[in-house]
Amino acid sequence: MTYSITIINSEEKYSCEAEQTILNGMVQLGKKGIPVGCKGGGCGICKVAILEGEFSSKKMSRKHISKEEEKQGVVLACRTMPKSDLRLKALGVIKTAILN
């Protein structure tokens, strides 16, 4: 099953397999709307708010996704699989942090 994912920040659209994470789906099609980090639920860079649609998520670092956020559909894209078409907003920011 393939679903359509829309990133509202950039109005990018891509299709994603049901068994694929919405981050891997994006990366494979060369899209860049969600910043890509560790791909393991650990670093928090790919944080998104799912605005519309059904999905499931694997365990994510509590440092980056609180229980409250998880209830509200704020998740890490690297741990989230679509169960329908989705509209989402990218929240994470990647920054060069070596020279503070």
Partner 1 sequence: MAMTGVMRPGHVQIRVLDIDEAVSHYRDNLGMIETDRDAEGRVYLKCWDEHDKFSVVLREADEPGMDHMAFKVRAEQDLWRFESDLKKAGCNVERIQTGELSGCGERVRFDTPTGHVFELFATKEVVGNGISTTNPAPWPEGLQGMAAVRFDHCLLYGGDIDGTVKIFTEILEFDLAEQVVDGELQIAAFLSCSTKAHDIAFIRHEEDGKFHHASFLLSTWEQVLKAADIISMRDIPIDIGPTRHGLTRGQTIYFFDPSGNRNEVFCEDSYRYPDSPVLTWTVDHLGQAIFYHSRELNDRFLSVLT
Residue 61 in the binding site for partner 1 (CB under 8 A)? yes
Q: Alpha-carbon distance 98 to 96, whole Å? A: 6
CA dihedral of 29, 35, 37, 43, whole degrees rounded to 10: -140
Q: Which of 19, 30, 71, 99 binds partner 1 (CB under 8 A)?
A: 99
Least separation in angstroms between CB 99 and partner 1: 7
Minimum Å gap between C-beta 84 and partner 1 is 25
Report in angstroms how near the CB of residue 52 gets to partner 1 at its nearest.
Answer: 27
CB 55 within 8 A of CB 13: no
Measured distance CA(54)–CA(5) in Å, rounded: 11
Please report, as ranges, the residues that interact with partner 1 according to CB under 8 A: 36-43, 45, 58-63, 78, 94-100
